Amino acid sequence: MLSDADVAALYDLLNPWDPEHHPADAFHHRLVMAAGAVLDVGCGTGAMLHRARDAGHRGVLAGIDPNPAYLARARRRDDIEWVPGTAAATPWEQDFDLAVMTGHAFQCLVDDGEIRAGLAGVRAALREGGRFAFETRHPQAQAWADWTPAHAREVVDAAGRLLRVGHEVESVVDDVVTFTETVTDASGAVVHYERQVLRFLGPEVLNRLLREAGFRLDEQYGDWHGGPLTPDSREIVTVARR
């Protein structure tokens, strides 16, 4: 079986942070580089903040994540503050100009109580006028329809192992999708298995929850190039202000 450290390294292989080639990464990178103090909520392995430092960001950078193996990879850089925890339990008070949640991490907040607690934690960490940038998959696009074994990806990890990563949906109940991720080796043996649950909020519910949490909407797009949010959009890209 893959160790926790192996799984964290695999995440980086499958999701390289690359603002030059990935429009989503470019969108967040521009915001980060323009802000003096930045909090990455659900920072994972820290790739976004690593890149910001490499690109010359000299302000305060901090990341928070509940996964210790991911944070261990993030701590390869010690000029960034790394804190174990969740959006609901950020230890900061009005310390940041910008908070971000990338990689659709916002969708890991499943019920309304989790979302409200997460938004309250992010808001508390922002200075007055500070902004919160994040994205969710638009539910009408039904992105989960492609999460099937037929769409599995193959990668070669740092140890030279050929790994196949596949997904399968277990259930879709209202706007909550439960699915599994299975990693197999070249022989077909399962080396990692994980069940995940994501919430697919529509824009009306999302924006209501933001208002109730004390945010006002600054910008909202249907793609990473600033296109309008329409019934055909695949993304809901949001920038809200405390």
pLDDT tens for each residue of 221-233: 999 999 999 989 9
Phi, psi (rounded to 5 degrees) for 73: -70, -40
Residue spans of alpha helices (H) in the chain = 4-14, 23-34, 47-54, 68-74, 112-125, 203-212
Give the pLDDT of residue 6.
97
Q: Is the pTM of this model over 0.75?
A: yes
Q: Which tens digits make up the pLDDT trace of 194-208?
A: 999 999 999 999 999
For the chain, give the percent of residues with pLDDT over 90.
Answer: 100
Give the pLDDT of residue 192.
98
Q: Which tens digits make up the pLDDT trace of 135-149?
A: 999 999 999 999 999
C-beta atoms surrounding 92 within 10 Å: 19
Give the pLDDT of residue 11.
97
**pLDDT average, residue stretch 117-142:** 98
Helix, strand and coil in the chain, % to nearest 5: 35, 35, 35
Give the pLDDT of residue 35.
98
CB 42 within 8 A of CB 87: yes
**pLDDT average, residue stretch 111-139:** 98
Give the pLDDT of residue 222.
98
CB 28 within 8 A of CB 133: yes
What does the buried/exposed string (b/e) look like for 201-228 if buried means 16 or more CB atoms within 10 Å of the residue's CB?
A: bebeebbebbeebebeeeebbbbbeeee
Structure tokens at 169: 């949906």
Structure tokens at 131: 């902004």
Quote the DSSP letter at residue 228: P
Beta bridge partners of 166: 182
Give the pLDDT of residue 78.
96
Give the pLDDT of residue 200.
98
Task: Return the closest-CA partner of residue 64 out of 100, 95, 97.
Answer: 100
Task: Return the closest-CA partner of residue 214 out of 157, 98, 140, 132.
Answer: 132
Quote the DSSP letter at residue 227: P
CB 48 within 8 A of CB 25: yes
Q: Which tens digits make up the pLDDT trace of 5-50?
A: 999 999 999 999 999 999 999 999 999 999 999 999 999 999 999 9
Residues in the chain: 242
Give the pLDDT of residue 65.
98
Distance of CA 239 to the CA centre of its chain: 14
Give the pLDDT of residue 106.
98
Q: Determine the Cα–Cα distance for residues 46 and 32; give it in Å rounded to an integer.
A: 13
For the chain, give the percent of residues with pLDDT over 70.
Answer: 100
